[in-house]
Each structure stands twice: as structure tokens, then as C-alpha cells.
């Protein structure tokens, strides 16, 4: 895809916007004929809906605004490889191409989680082909770009005894750990295997 890196940096910017709004760090955009026609961010927390991933929000809006023939000529660019749920929505929407930044494998190493199957394998189960390009700029996107940690730190209240909340750890990898268990108390956060694994990785890597 021509200008894939330029579009990916826009998706990364949308992921940063999602963080600033208090959501998970994911953003997506729809491109047709070299123009961005629609954008969306993750709104899981602000909408109180676990299905409101960036890609699913984008597909939902696109399906309401554009005809299937239009979507068939579109490319969905997303900061992180679509999960199984979002891959299914992309397939049924008729969108013909996906470009992603951080891969599902890298996301799993960073934050753990379920259903982190490569989207190409999911699309392969369908009857129509979908072109998949990625990872693109994974070094910038993994984990969720270096700018996400500072943005999150500004958004989250510092730890205060009794309020059940805490500021995210410093740095990108630590922020990924925070997002992996977002919404839990500080004590519970620090006891999760994802958090402990990341801290161990950070210390061993000298990051």
C-alpha cells in the first residue's frame, strides 16, 4: 500500500487520542483512493462497552455511511492487528485490505490476553480474499508508541490510599502492563502475571 507508513502514523496518533480520553491505546482509519474517509478510536471505557474496539467502531460507522461497493475499495489501517471479533466485522463489512502496526504476537508478549490469532488466519476461513499488510512501523507502535505513557500519566490520578486507583508505571512497557489490567485496584494490578512479567522483562532489558 502506497504511503502505508504515513497512514500508520495517523493511526498511532489516534491511539494516543484514545489514551488521552481514558481508553485503551488503539486507533484505526479508513482509506479510499489515497484519502482518509473515516477515523475511530477505542472507546471501551468511556462507552462502558467491551466491544467498542477501534476497528469495530470504524466498521460500524462505515457500514452506516457507505455502500458495500464503496467499502470494497477501502483499506482499513489500524495501530494494532485486529482481534478475532474485529476481524470478523471487517470481513462481513466487505473491506478488502487491512494494514496493521503492532502484531497480535507482539501484543500477546506485551500484555497477554485471549483470542490473539493472526487476522490473516481468520480471514482465510472466509470465501473472499482480504489482503493483509503488516506489521508496519512496529518498532514505533510496540508497545503502543512511546508517547502513550506520558499521555496516560497526565490522564490518570496519582495513587491515593483508599481510592482504589493508581497512576500507571512509567514508560511504554509499564503502560502496557497498566492497560492489560486497567480498572483493577493497585494491589490487584501488581499481583497480575502480565504486570510481573513486564517488570521482569524491563529490568532484564535495561529499559
Q: Which residues are catalytic?
A: 55
CA quadruple 184, 187, 190, 192: dihedral sign: negative
Amino acid at each position: 500500500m502506497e504511503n502505508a507508513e504515513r497512514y500508520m502514523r495517523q493511526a498511532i496518533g489516534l491511539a494516543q487520542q484514545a489514551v488521552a480520553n481514558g481508553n485503551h491505546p488503539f486507533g484505526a482509519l479508513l482509506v479510499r483512493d489515497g484519502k482518509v474517509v473515516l477515523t475511530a478510536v477505542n472507546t471501551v471505557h468511556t462507552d462502558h462497552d467491551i466491544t467498542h474496539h477501534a476497528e469495530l467502531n470504524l466498521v460500524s460507522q462505515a457500514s452506516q455511511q457507505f455502500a458495500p461497493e464503496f467499502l470494497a475499495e477501502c483499506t482499513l489501517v489500524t495501530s494494532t492487528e485486529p482481534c478475532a471479533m474485529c476481524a470478523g466485522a471487517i470481513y462481513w463489512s466487505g473491506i478488502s485490505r487491512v494494514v496493521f502496526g503492532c502484531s497480535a504476537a507482539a501484543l500477546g508478549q506485551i500484555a497477554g490476553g485471549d483470542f490473539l490469532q493472526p487476522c490473516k488466519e481468520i480471514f482465510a476461513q472466509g470465501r473472499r480474499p482480504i489482503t493483509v499488510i503488516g506489521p508496519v512501523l512496529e518498532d514505533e507502535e510496540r508497545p503502543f508508541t512511546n508517547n502513550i505513557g506520558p499521555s496516560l500519566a497526565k490522564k490518570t490520578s496519582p495513587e491515593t490510599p483508599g481510592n482504589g486507583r493508581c497512576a500507571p508505571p512509567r514508560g511504554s512497557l509499564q503502560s502496557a502492563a497498566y492497560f492489560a489490567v486497567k480498572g483493577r485496584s493497585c494491589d490487584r494490578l501488581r499481583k497480575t502475571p502480565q504486570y510481573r512479567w513486564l517488570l521482569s522483562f524491563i529490568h532484564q532489558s535495561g529499559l
